[in-house]
Structure 1
């Protein structure tokens, strides 16, 4: 009987120890949760990197090679 009560106690601890978060800062499936945890995904896509212009030295080298 004691073994059964110990098992029930263990199960209760396991079930109630998990936080059940529904939408908010802790929910990683929402945009606010992604911002809070600092990650990106489907609900918060990362910004696309812009193409950078070539440096002035590269432009000058390109003109000399063409001439």
Structure 2
């Protein structure tokens, strides 16, 4: 299913939505509500750290490729 979903990402959005719906129908027989346990400020800080790490990694890769 994961490879199907990856292929669907390259197609029209309606195909992606259909794949997601199919996955949920097949794998979620006893759904439970999602409950946020983290503070919103913690989530935003984590996303910020992720962006900074990605930028550092991308910058380092660009420098290495220029050599």
TM-score normalised to structure 2 length: 0.28
Q: Calculate the TM-score normalised by the size of structure 1.
A: 0.28
Bigger radius of gyration = 1
Higher helix share: 2
Report 1 or 2 for greater relative contact order, CA contacts < 8 Å, sequence distance ≥ 6: 2
